[in-house]
């Protein structure tokens, strides 16, 4: 009796769990509240890219053989007071590289960040190399940082005699904290008594909600919308000279985010992501696969013993073609919630590749109430 009671309780628990998840999937789409710092950024609070040319030395015979590298070595030696013609340089331990770095927001002189080093010649490996002092410039042509240090490629190559062992990519690496910032960017936060916010995902409803929540937090109408992605915030008098405190307060404000209905498809990997606001109008779908199999077998015909002179062995190909088409029946698919959509699409019993084709056909038929984004 006790064992039957336990089985009944277990079955009841599974039933309640199923009902809970089914009800959860059938709920209408919820409006999520996000902090402003997670959905928007302030004007000027951004990263900036730097680039420069450099030389990596100390390689074990895996360097460049091109003239560009020799010219770079000659120019470096000339700046050190040694004049050498590029044609006279025979170096196999040096590689010409492009050095890139990302400046964080509000960079200050003396701060250090990582540098990325990538070869531009026929270098085999940067293993064991050291990046020489290289100036890094911005798009305006000014030098903002200097890069130097040992290159870490996170891998290795070994072996010889036609047998080698390699791990990871050997022609690109990183110089940890190898970039020293030399000058900051010319930007003043809160210039002209106002600040601009830019939404990561432009949306008129979200922009309006952000303005309303900011004005509610500041107890006055200081914020206003410019367009679907831009918001203008006038600095209150009590926050003049306290821009950081104002931004900290605004970033912590929570705003209901109105998400757009979107289906994202990655055809390379067969990945499909469906948002909870996606809707499908009632539609019938029939999907079947056509498989064509072509098989070729080679049969060898040899002449019998004591055959007449001139008889030869003949190879005869025999081809067999088979066509198989799976039967498909109409399946009704519709849904006003994410759970119904998933249930309807799963009823088709197709692979992700076929599901991508079905979603494209639904969009073309006007039954998919969402943006279909293919990446």
Q: Does 17 fall in a domain?
A: no
- Do both 234 and 333 map to the same domain? no
Assess contact for 25 and 338: CB atoms under 8 A. yes
Q: Does 104 fall in a domain?
A: yes
**CA 328 – CA 302 distance, rounded (Å):** 48
pLDDT at position 5 is: 40
Q: Does 295 fall in a domain?
A: no
Nearest 5°: CA angle at 287, between 283 and 288? 165
Which of 257, 274, 302 is the C-terminal boundary of a domain? Answer: 257
DSSP assigned state of 89: -
- Do both 74 and 199 map to the same domain? no
- Do both 270 and 244 map to the same domain? no
- Do both 175 and 251 map to the same domain? no
Assess contact for 261 and 46: CB atoms under 8 A. no
Ordered per-residue pLDDT tens for the chain, 375 residues: 444 444 444 454 454 444 334 443 444 445 567 899 899 999 888 889 999 999 999 888 888 877 778 888 888 888 888 788 877 777 788 889 999 999 998 889 999 999 999 998 888 888 889 999 999 999 989 999 999 999 998 766 666 655 666 666 788 999 999 999 998 887 777 778 889 999 998 889 899 999 999 999 999 999 999 999 999 999 998 888 888 899 999 999 999 887 788 888 887 787 888 887 888 878 777 766 655 555 667 777 777 776 677 667 777 777 666 656 566 555 666 656 666 777 777 776 777 777 888 888 888 888 888 888 888
Beta pairing partners, 300: 315
**CA 223 – CA 210 distance, rounded (Å):** 9
Which of 181, 215, 244 is the C-terminal boundary of a domain? Answer: 181
**CA 309 – CA 318 distance, rounded (Å):** 27
Q: Does 225 fall in a domain?
A: yes
- Do both 205 and 274 map to the same domain? no
- Do both 272 and 349 map to the same domain? yes
pLDDT at position 83 is: 80
- Do both 207 and 124 map to the same domain? no
pLDDT at position 155 is: 67
> How many domains does the structure of the chain reveal?
3
Assess contact for 177 and 112: CB atoms under 8 A. yes
Residue numbers of the domain that contains 281 = 262-289+328-374
CATH number for the domain spanning 237: value is 3.30.1360
Assess contact for 280 and 341: CB atoms under 8 A. yes
- Do both 102 and 194 map to the same domain? no
- Do both 235 and 274 map to the same domain? no
- Do both 123 and 208 map to the same domain? no
Q: Does 266 fall in a domain?
A: yes
Q: Does 249 fall in a domain?
A: yes
**CA 158 – CA 61 distance, rounded (Å):** 13
Q: Token pair of 15, please?
A: 């039933």
**CA 223 – CA 196 distance, rounded (Å):** 9
pLDDT at position 165 is: 65
pLDDT at position 19 is: 39
Could you write out the DSSP letters of every residue in 169-238? -SSEEEEEEEEEE-S--S--TTGGGEEEEEESS--HHHHHHHHHHHHHHHTS--EEE-SSSEEEEEPPGG
Assess contact for 32 and 82: CB atoms under 8 A. no
pLDDT at position 137 is: 94
Q: Does 160 fall in a domain?
A: no
- Do both 278 and 249 map to the same domain? no
Which of 240, 257, 274 is the C-terminal boundary of a domain? Answer: 257
Assess contact for 318 and 343: CB atoms under 8 A. no
- Do both 96 and 171 map to the same domain? yes
Nearest 5°: CA angle at 123, between 118 and 129? 70
Provide φ and ψ at 267, rounded to 5°. -70, -25
Q: Does 303 fall in a domain?
A: no
């Amino acid at each position: 009796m006790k064992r039957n009671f336990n089985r009944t309780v277990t079955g009841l628990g599974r039933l309640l769990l199923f009902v809970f998840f089914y009800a959860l999937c059938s709920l209408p789409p919820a409006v999520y509240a996000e902090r402003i710092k997670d959905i928007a950024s302030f004007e000027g609070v951004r990263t900036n890219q730097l680039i420069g040319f450099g030389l990596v030395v100390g390689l074990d015979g895996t360097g460049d053989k091109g003239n560009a590298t020799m010219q770079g070595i000659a120019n470096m030696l000339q700046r050190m007071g040694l004049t050498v013609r590029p044609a006279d340089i025979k170096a196999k331990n040096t590689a010409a590289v492009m050095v890139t770095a990302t400046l964080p927001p509000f960079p200050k002189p003396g701060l250090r960040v990582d540098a990325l080093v990538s070869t531009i010649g026929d270098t085999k490996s940067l293993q064991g190399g050291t990046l020489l002092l290289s100036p890094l410039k911005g798009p305006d042509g000014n030098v903002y940082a200097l890069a130097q240090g040992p290159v870490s490629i996170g891998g290795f190559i070994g072996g010889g005699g036609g047998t080698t062992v390699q791990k990871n990519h050997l022609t690109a690496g990183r110089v940890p904290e190898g970039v020293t910032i030399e000058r900051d960017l010319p930007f003043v936060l809160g210039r002209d008594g106002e600040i601009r916010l830019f939404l990561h995902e432009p949306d008129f409803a979200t922009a309006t909600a952000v303005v309303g929540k900011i004005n509610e937090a500041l107890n006055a109408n200081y914020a206003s919308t410019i367009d679907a992605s831009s918001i203008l915030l006038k600095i209150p008098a009590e926050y003049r000279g306290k821009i950081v405190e104002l931004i900290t307060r605004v970033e912590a404000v929570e705003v209901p985010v109105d998400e757009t209905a979107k289906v994202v498809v990655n055809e390379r990997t067969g990945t499909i992501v469906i948002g909870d606001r996606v809707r499908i109008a009632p539609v019938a779908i029939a999907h079947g696969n056509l498989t064509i199999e072509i098989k070729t077998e080679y049969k060898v015909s040899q002449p019998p013993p004591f055959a007449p002179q001139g008889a030869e062995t003949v190879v005869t190909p025999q081809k067999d073609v088979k066509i198989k088409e799976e039967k498909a029946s109409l399946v009704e698919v519709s849904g006003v919630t994410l759970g119904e959509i998933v249930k309807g699409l799963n009823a088709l019993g197709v692979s992700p590749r076929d599901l991508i084709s079905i979603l494209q056909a639904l969009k073309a038929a006007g039954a998919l109430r969402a943006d279909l984004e293919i990446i």
